Amino acid sequence: GQQLNQSPQSMFIQEGEDVSMNCTSSSIFNTWLWYKQDPGEGPVLLIALYKAGELTSNGRLTAQFGITRKDSFLNISASIPSDVGIYFCAGQFLSGSNYKLTFGKGTLLTVNP
Amino acid sequence: KAGVTQTPRYLIKTRGQQVTLSCSPISGHRSVSWYQQTPGQGLQFLFEYFSETQRNKGNFPGRFSGRQFSNSRSEMNVSTLELGDSALYLCASSLASGAFANEQFFGPGTRLTVL
């Protein structure tokens, strides 16, 4: 089945620093999604990407859909303490009735104030 | 507008028992998907229900089953619980199915512990 490799597994940064994380796949996806999960909560959608090469921003967050359709990255600029959490990438491939979301294993972000 | 609600939030069971989890989607949403989240495997798709029909299924054993009611509320059942079933079970709802799955909104999850 499709698998996503998300890296890094964890990051420890200082407030104000920029952050970058990425996901790669052995298969192509039609859609790439980035979620954030806070403790005790479900994931919340941050950014959705629908076309190869697409670059989309949401405030301090920027994500790109790789040209090969097999990778995506998420950047967070000028990090703040509330950015702490687990960030997940997810890919969706549409083929007939098969449209399951495949998730990466997450990047745990810690921001030191 | 109320979000996705899941009950119970926490559950402790013993091996061999069965468990039923409930999910109420956002009002108007007709698709409900279930996921299992564990530290080792991450988020894994269980199944999706739309208009009371299972539309898609992940790679889980038959002990995991679900259903959806006419009001779009969904239940997930796990029979003959195993230690490895301990996980956070997340439910996500969306307006439609298929191509619109990216418009999913997740609930807070049910934390199941199997002793």
CB spacing of B56 vs A101 below 8 angstroms: no
pLDDT band at A100 (very low <50, low <70, confident <90, very high): confident
Helix (H, G, I), strand (E, B) or coil at A84: coil
B90 touching A (Cβ < 8 Å): yes
**Percent of chain B having pLDDT more than 70?**
95
Residue A103 · residue A3 · CB < 8 Å: no
pLDDT the model gives residue B100 = 55
The whole-chain average pLDDT of chain A stands at 92
Question: Could you report the per-residue pLDDT of B33-88, keeping only the tens digit for each?
Answer: 999 999 888 899 999 999 999 988 888 999 999 999 999 999 999 999 999 999 99
Q: Does A59 contact B at CB distance below 8 Å?
A: no
Compute the average pLDDT of residues A76-103.
Answer: 87
pLDDT per residue as tens digits for the range B13-24: 999 999 999 999
Q: Where residue B1 falls among pLDDT bands split at 50, 70, 90? A: low
The number of residues in chain A equals: 113
A7-11, A17-21, A40-44: range with lowest mean pLDDT: A40-44
* Confidence check: pLDDT of B102 > 70: no
Chain B residue whose CA is closest to A42: B108
Q: Are B112 and B89 in contact (CB under 8 A)?
A: yes
Measured between alpha carbons, how far is A33 from A83 in angstroms, rounded to an integer?
17
| CB-based contacts of B109, cutoff 8 Å, min separation 6 | A41, A42, B6, B9, B37, B88, B89, B90, B91
Q: Does A41 lie at the interface with B, CB-CB under 8 angstroms?
A: yes
Nearest to A99 among B35, B56, B107 (CB): B56
Minimum distance, in Å, between the CA of residue B16 and any CA atom of chain A: 27
How many Å lie between the alpha carbon of B52 and the closest alpha carbon of chain A? 16
